[in-house]
A = this chain, B = another copy of it.
């Protein structure tokens, strides 16, 4: 019997993955770049356990047993077992998997990336897999490949038909740019969304503009973004982050039928960020949006007290601050009425944001050695 527990965080792309060239192997149509967040705040925790006594593979997600036959899950398991280096044919043993997010699924924060990255990282240790595991996480959920390592990560689209070279590599570790901070603004929303899988497929099949994006915009943008990260050039980093987010949502709107993920509040956040940067005459904050209305903001630590003050002014918290402010402590928040006056934006209704999460770039998957951290008991069943 052997057990591994791992925690892994979500990653937030600054150059977006939007479109597959192979639906089964999950091969993208362009390179993408993201930062993996700190596991202290938003993470998936996964325990994997193998035992000769288990009768079948089983999986529990957030307290519910799920279908182990899920093809993407099966693909990951098959790949891991193929590359298992353990003796004793333990690749023949059955596996139990138990996984939980420490953030509400309803928050609309992409959880599949953290989930598959965590699963693969845990299984890789359990089966003593060596070498790149990002390509295994990728076949679970594309962007999961970027969460199997920390810092800033580039996912190379690759060119081989079997996807062997479609892997993620670290650009720099989190320690390279320790001042970088992230604010996630969780937006209230009731709209039913087009899933990102369906959205990508529809975009590739129907948008005229996405072809131009892939061929003529992204290659140069990737190059400049990687350079900006290496050189810690926040202005270039921020501008490319915002432009790429906007363009991803533009090609969704150009699809047919069109679909949108951003809502009125999302767009008001965009306007506020631009109005703030203009008022301080410097690009201090960048936004990015994935397949939902929540904003993720990148900013340097030094800008946080002032910007959170601005945010609190234009988006008055609808609940008490202890519940509203999550993640890293936000002790110093600047109240600058003069600055507020200079910002050409509209004050929103209290509660337009559900809550905010303040976090930073992290170091990637983390193994928890203390048996108390396991999500499965000695019989391989979830500890409720």
Q: Which residues of A contact B (CB under 8 A)?
A: 191-192, 208-209, 211-213, 216-217, 239, 242-243, 246-247, 249-251, 253-258, 260, 263-264, 267, 270-271, 274, 346
Chain B residue numbers with a CB within 8 Å of A212 are 208-209, 211-212, 216
Chain B residue numbers with a CB within 8 Å of A213 are 208-209
Closest chain B residue, CB of each to CB of A273: B257
Determine if A249 and B253 form an interchain contact, defined as CB atoms under 8 angstroms apart.
yes
Chain B residue numbers with a CB within 8 Å of A274 are 257
20 A-B pairs with C-beta separation under 8 A: A192-B346, A208-B213, A208-B247, A209-B213, A209-B217, A209-B250, A211-B212, A242-B256, A242-B257, A246-B253, A246-B254, A246-B258, A247-B253, A249-B253, A250-B253, A253-B253, A257-B270, A257-B271, A260-B267, A263-B264
**CA–CA, A329 to B267, complex, Å?**
37
Chain B residue numbers with a CB within 8 Å of A253 are 246-247, 249-250, 253
Query: What is the interface of chain A mostly: helix, strand, loop, or mixed?
Result: helix
Closest chain B residue, CB of each to CB of A251: B250
Determine if A247 and B254 form an interchain contact, defined as CB atoms under 8 angstroms apart.
yes
CB distance from A150 to the nearest CB of B (A): 30
Query: Contacts A209-B254, A249-B253 given; 4 further ones with Cβ under 8 A?
Result: A209-B247, A250-B251, A250-B254, A258-B270
Chain B residue numbers with a CB within 8 Å of A251 are 209, 250
Top 9 A-B pairs ranked by shortest CB distance?
Answer: A212-B212, A250-B254, A250-B250, A250-B253, A257-B274, A246-B258, A209-B209, A264-B264, A208-B217
Chain B residue numbers with a CB within 8 Å of A247 are 208-209, 253-254
Contacts A212-B209, A250-B251 given; does A243 touch B260 at CB 8 Å: no
User: Which has the most chain B C-beta neighbours within 10 Å: A253, A257, A260?
Assistant: A253
